[in-house]
Amino acid sequence: MHKIKKRLKGHELYYFGSCPFCIKVRLALWWMGLELPLKDILSSSKNKDALLVGGGLTQVPCLRIEHEENNVQWLYESDDIIRYLKQQLARKKALRED
């Protein structure tokens, strides 16, 4: 069975492939059926620099969230990222049901 992917506008995940916490978040994305732009910080120095300049750390995973008010939030910690994504999905679902 093929899942239909849902996209969250204005979100990007900074990661690297062998990081266990990044794998945890990427598995959660798959499980939730979400598709986000992925920014590998080991294969691209541009991605690593953007993470450092924007978020202040090169720690991954990190979710870059662009809010409608044009301000950007950088969310670290895999459990916090997963919790945030679940909340966003629930909010989108509630809006569709109204």
Per-residue confidence of the chain (98 residues) as pLDDT tens digits? Answer: 456 678 888 999 999 999 999 999 999 999 999 999 999 999 999 999 999 999 999 999 999 999 888 899 999 999 999 999 999 988 877 666 65
Cα separation, 64 vs 15, in Å, equals 11
- pTM of the complete model: 0.89
How far are the Cα atoms of 3, 17, 66, 85 from residue 73, in angstroms, in the given order?
29, 23, 6, 14
Helix axes 78-97, 20-32, angle to 10 degrees: 10
SS3 98: coil
With a CB cutoff of 8 Å and minimum separation 6, the contacts of 97 are: none
Domains annotated for the chain, with CATH where assigned, are 10-85 (3.40.30.10)
